[in-house]
Amino acid sequence: RSKWRKVLPVIPLLGAVGCLVFAFTGFRLNLEETSPVIVLVMDVSDSMNATDVEPNRLEAAETAAEAFLTELPAEFRVGLATFAGDAQLVVAPTQAHDDVVDALDVTTSRGTVIGDGLTVALDAIQEVRRGATETPAVALLLSDGRDTGSLVDPDAAAARAASLGVPVFTVVLGQVAEGEDGGADLETLAAIADTSGGETFTAETADDLTTIYEDLGSE
């Protein structure tokens, strides 16, 4: 009987501790499910090998993306989509930012399907939102060229982003095109940002690009 008298007062305490552990676990799970999502959408067309942005456009973009990830809070989920002749989700949104850094070492190919690249990013965001519809999300799209025939027109992809409440921040890298040839299509990228509620930036040097990404990451 004396032993039970010593143990009984402890039982409610153990129960309370158990409830706290359960509640904290639930809180952490909810935090992970609703943490913000950012999808990097990167142009990996052959023109990204141009050296007008040192050491070349692709390496400058990879360096800037790493700087961006460094500025983000650890709980933010980040994904990576790339596009050239087709578009693919390289890394689904994750809190393991190192996985995204490792995946930035990409190869280039022909084509620039901007609309399809953004569509892949929006698909990934919608997949995340299946379990948490209020999850805040944005896309950060970088390109140095013009759309070469996306299955989803860039304007349509931008309208979809707006309907989902996903602002798209676009970055124009390298020379801006004045006509049909020779550089990035500022008009299209600006329209994507404007339609979706994002902003457009231009970067003609590696330092410009890194600064833009660092600023966006801190914001």
State residue 27's pLDDT score.
38
Which pLDDT band holds residue 183 (cuts at 50, 70, 90)? confident
Cα distances (Å, whole numbers) of residue 75 to 28, 105, 121, 123: 11, 23, 19, 21
Q: Is residue 86 pLDDT above 60, yes or no?
A: yes
State if pTM tops 0.85: no
Q: Is residue 170 pLDDT above 70, yes or no?
A: yes
| 62 contacts 105 by C-beta, under 8 angstroms | yes
Which pLDDT band holds residue 26 (cuts at 50, 70, 90)? very low
State residue 73's pLDDT score.
95
User: Nearest to residue 86, comparing CAs of 56, 44, 49?
Assistant: 44
